[in-house]
């Protein structure tokens, strides 16, 4: 119990000074990101994509360039050059996304910004100076996020949305599934699936707004509606394969009660 109190005190001290530039103290609605919710798997997927492109360049592009140089064929050389440029552009895009996801803190920051931008687009957050901030302990085990320069209502809905996005998938109306690539072929990466926050999931067009913000900063996500027989089956697959759900079971020893669908 004493250790728990120390942990609370240490995390509270992390927030001291975050509002030093403000004349009045502010009530914060803080959402703590548990260790099992830190999405470190983005790094692996992006590196796999980059390796795939390098392999494609070796298999597909090199022969065109070699034949063009050896036979002085301008057409082969031009085709190879264009393919090389296209693949380099694709690799550059993946490298940019990779650099954004190099650390858990950056990942949470990007997801938080996407939630904030979506809530602003939906008119749920109207405070012009509202911004998303992060605090973490020295080991980056506990990551806390909060909305500042906003109303109490806005802080609460933001904290709730972040909590739902980074908590284990239970029974959301929509889930986001990251698009992966294997040898250039897209597939649904169920391990990187997330529950759509309730405040956003009332209408599909609202869900698409969040999906668009995620696409701009992290890559494409599939939107899956779960209130159908097909959607329910995919939801169960996400619950089984999502790294958040699986880590919760292994790290915390939690057991899920299986429904009749399982």
Over residues 19-67, the pLDDT tens digits come to: 454 545 555 565 555 555 544 333 333 344 555 556 666 665 566 556 5
Task: Spell out the residues 6+ positions from residue 94 whose beta carbon is closer than 8 angstroms to its own.
Answer: 46, 49, 50, 53
Q: For the segment 153-193, what is each residue's pLDDT rounded down to a tens digit?
A: 999 999 899 889 888 899 999 999 998 877 778 889 898 89
Tell me the Cα Rg of the chain.
22
Which two structure tokens, joined as six digits, stand for 19?
């509002």
Higher pLDDT, 120 or 94: 120
Separation CA 12–CA 6 (nearest Å): 10
Q: For the segment 233-245, what is each residue's pLDDT rounded down to a tens digit?
A: 999 999 988 877 7
Number of other CB atoms surrounding residue 100 within 10 Å: 16
Q: In percent, how much of the chain has pLDDT > 90?
A: 31
Predicted TM-score (pTM) above 0.85: no
């Amino acid at each position: 119990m004493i250790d728990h109190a120390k942990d609370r005190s240490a995390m509270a001290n992390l927030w001291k000074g975050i509002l030093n530039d403000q004349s009045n103290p502010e009530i914060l609605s803080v959402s703590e990101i548990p260790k099992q919710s830190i999405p470190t798997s983005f790094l692996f997927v992006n590196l796999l994509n980059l390796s795939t492109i390098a392999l494609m360049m070796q298999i597909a592009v090199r022969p065109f360039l070699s034949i063009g140089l050896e036979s002085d064929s301008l057409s082969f050389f031009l085709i190879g050059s264009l393919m090389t440029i296209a693949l380099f552009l694709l690799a550059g895009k993946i490298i940019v996304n990779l650099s954004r996801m190099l650390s858990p803190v950056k990942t949470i920051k990007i997801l938080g910004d996407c939630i904030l931008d979506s809530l602003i687009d939906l008119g749920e957050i109207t405070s012009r100076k509202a911004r998303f901030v992060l605090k973490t302990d020295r080991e980056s085990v506990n990551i806390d996020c909060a909305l500042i320069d906003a109303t109490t209502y806005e802080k609460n809905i933001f904290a709730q949305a972040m909590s739902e996005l980074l908590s284990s998938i239970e029974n959301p109306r929509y889930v986001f599934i990251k698009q992966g690539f294997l040898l250039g072929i897209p597939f649904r990466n169920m391990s990187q699936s997330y529950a759509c926050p309730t405040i956003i999931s009332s209408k599909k067009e609202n869900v698409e707004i969040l999906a668009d913000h995620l696409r701009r900063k992290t890559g494409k996500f599939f939107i899956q509606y779960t209130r159908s027989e097909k959607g329910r089956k995919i939801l169960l697959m996400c619950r089984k394969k999502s790294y958040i759900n699986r880590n919760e079971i292994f790290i915390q020893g939690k057991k899920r009660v299986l429904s009749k669908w399982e």
